[in-house]
């Protein structure tokens, strides 16, 4: 097992270098003056000369790449010319919200996807199955941003005075707040754990759980439902299709017939015997869907007025602060890589054939 983990980690190294090289190359390909592309149109020649010397943009390309790798390794992803804020700071501030949204969408997608897929497979070729599969086909064809707007229209406007009303934007109702954990625990900036605690503090749901703030917890969850459903619909449909076909295949195997023949209750046949083997491809799809979730976050956060990483990318796009956009692309690609690594390792735990081969 350890051997498998190490070999898998080593395989990730060239991909990380590749990701960094692609983003490095992209940043150098910006047409025109790199200085003014990063510092803005109004930068003077003196400022630009200084900037180019400081950033090493007058050095040979391989040296520049080495410098870039050094910066990334030190956790320096650059600074926004617009807000003068370091990208790392923005990550601590904004990433928790995106993580919350992505996890919520993933829970929604896997829970309902697997459930619907199982229903469709169990009653294969029935009306229920056809309905679920038509729904799944529509689901994968859904533009995330449109679905989000339509959900907001239905749940925030049409159902306004019913108990089903859900807020169309924001993270918490104004007036509802959560404690700042760094203040609560008396951590000063510069403390080794400051960044981590500030990060956790920004995960509103986790924060509310830690401090026992049930009002904020309920409010945060209520605000998260619509964005999570909008973002999770495409992966949910893909997961439902995958679960259906994978479970159908397994249900036709001999050992399932044996299990039924020996009089096992149907519930156990499906959940303990069939699902155990049908889940592997489903786990793959769940892992792969993370990429579309992280991409979709840019759209979903824009629609629902959430100020996560996606929103900051959108704002930076509109402000032409492209340095920040590219920095976040690197950050998200690295997160995606780590998550895929985790999925791969979890297979090895689920399926002994993989770690032994």
Partner 1 sequence: MAPSGLLIRKMDEMLPRGSSLWADTLRNLVHRRSAIAGATMLFFLIMTATLAPLIATHDPEMVLLGVENVKRRAAPCIHLLGCPPDQPQHLMGVDGNVRDFFSRMVYGSRLSLQIGFSTVSFAIVVGGLLIGAVSGYVGGWVDNLLMRLMDVILAFPYLLLAIAIVTVLGPGLINALLAIGIVSIPIYARVMRSSVLSIKEMDFVLADRAIGVPPARILFRRIMPNALTPLIVQGTLGIATAILDAAALSFLGLGAQPPTPEWGLMLSEERNQLFSAPHLVFFPGFAIMLTVLSFNLLGDGLRDALDPRLRH
* Chain residues in the site for partner 1 (CB under 8 A): 14-15, 18-19, 21-23, 26-27, 29-31, 137-138, 140-147, 149-150, 152-153, 157, 290-292, 294-296, 298-299, 302-303, 313-314, 317-318, 322, 325-326, 329, 332-333, 336-337
Q: Are 326 and 27 in contact (CB under 8 A)?
A: yes
In order of 83, 236, 286, 320, 334, the CA distances from 105 in angstroms are 30, 9, 11, 29, 20
Q: Least distance in Å: CB of 212 to partner 1?
A: 36
Q: Which is nearer to partner 1, 203 or 230 (CB)?
A: 230
In order of 38, 180, 198, 270, 287, the CA distances from 187 in angstroms are 34, 10, 9, 51, 36
Q: Which is nearer to partner 1, 91 or 269 (CB)?
A: 91
In order of 11, 128, 255, 279, the CA distances from 252 in angstroms are 37, 20, 9, 15
> Given the structure tokens 């008396």, which residue do they identify?
186
Helix axes 204-211, 214-251, angle to 10 degrees: 120
Q: Least distance in Å: CB of 149 to partner 1?
A: 5
Q: Which is nearer to partner 1, 178 or 234 (CB)?
A: 234
Distance CA 251, CA 254 (A): 8
Contacts by residues 327-333 (CB-CB < 8 Å, ≥ 24 positions apart): 327/77, 327/78, 327/87, 328/87, 329/23, 330/19, 330/20, 330/23, 330/72, 330/77, 331/77, 331/87, 331/91, 331/95, 332/294, 333/19, 333/23
Q: Which is nearer to partner 1, 6 or 154 (CB)?
A: 154
Q: Least distance in Å: CB of 103 to partner 1?
A: 16
Q: Which is nearer to partner 1, 19 or 124 (CB)?
A: 19
Q: Which is nearer to partner 1, 52 or 334 (CB)?
A: 334
The CA angle 226-332-286, to the nearest 5 degrees, is 60
Q: What is the DSSP letter of 188?
A: P
Q: Which is nearer to partner 1, 151 or 197 (CB)?
A: 151
Residue 19 tokens, joined: 């990701």
Q: Which is nearer to partner 1, 143 or 352 (CB)?
A: 143
Distance CA 75, CA 88 (A): 7
Q: Which is nearer to partner 1, 25 or 183 (CB)?
A: 25
Q: Least distance in Å: CB of 282 to partner 1?
A: 19
Q: Least distance in Å: CB of 200 to partner 1?
A: 25
Q: Least distance in Å: CB of 29 to partner 1?
A: 5
Q: Least distance in Å: CB of 298 to partner 1?
A: 7
Within 10 A of 183 (CB to CB), how many other CB atoms are there? 11
Q: Least distance in Å: CB of 317 to partner 1?
A: 6
Distance CA 321, CA 93 (A): 18
The dihedral over CA atoms of 221, 223, 226, 230, expressed in degrees to the nearest 10, equals -90
Q: Least distance in Å: CB of 287 to partner 1?
A: 13
């Amino acid at each position: 097992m350890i051997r498998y983990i190490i070999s898998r980690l080593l395989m990730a190294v060239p991909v990380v270098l590749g990701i960094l090289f692609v983003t490095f190359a992209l940043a150098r390909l910006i047409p025109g003056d790199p200085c003014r592309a990063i510092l803005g149109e109004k930068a003077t020649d003196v400022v630009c000369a200084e900037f180019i010397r400081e950033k090493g943009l007058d050095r040979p390309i391989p040296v520049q790449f080495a410098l870039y790798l050094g910066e990334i390794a030190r956790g320096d992803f650059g600074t926004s010319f617009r807000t003068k804020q370091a990208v790392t700071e923005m990550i601590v501030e904004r990433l928790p919200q995106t993580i919350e949204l992505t996890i919520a969408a993933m829970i929604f997608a896997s829970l309902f996807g697997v459930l619907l897929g199982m229903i469709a497979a169990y009653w294969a070729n029935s009306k229920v199955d056809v309905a679920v599969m038509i729904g799944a086909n529509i689901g994968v064809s859904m533009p995330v941003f449109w679905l989000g707007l339509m959900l907001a229209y239905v749940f925030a406007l049409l159902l306004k005075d019913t108990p089903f009303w859900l807020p169309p934007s924001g993270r918490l109702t104004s007036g509802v707040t959560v404690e700042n954990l760094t203040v609560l625990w008396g951590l000063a900036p510069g403390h080794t754990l400051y960044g981590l605690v500030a990060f956790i503090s920004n995960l509103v749901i986790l924060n509310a759980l830690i401090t026992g703030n049930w009002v904020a917890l309920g409010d945060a969850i209520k605000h998260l439902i619509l964005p999570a459903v909008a973002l999770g619909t495409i992966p949910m449909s893909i997961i439902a299709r995958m679960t259906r076909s994978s479970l159908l295949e397994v249900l036709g195997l001999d050992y399932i017939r044996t299990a039924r023949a020996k009089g096992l209750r149907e519930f156990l046949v499906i959940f303990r015997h069939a699902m155990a083997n049908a889940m592997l491809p489903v786990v793959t799809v769940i892992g792969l869907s993370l990429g579309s979730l992280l991409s979709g976050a840019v759209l979903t956060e824009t629609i629902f007025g959430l100020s996560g990483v996606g929103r900051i990318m959108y704002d930076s796009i509109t402000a032409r602060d492209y340095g920040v956009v590219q920095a976040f692309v690197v950050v998200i690609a690295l997160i995606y890589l780590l998550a895929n690594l985790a999925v791969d390792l979890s297979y090895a735990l689920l399926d002994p054939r993989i770690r032994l081969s």
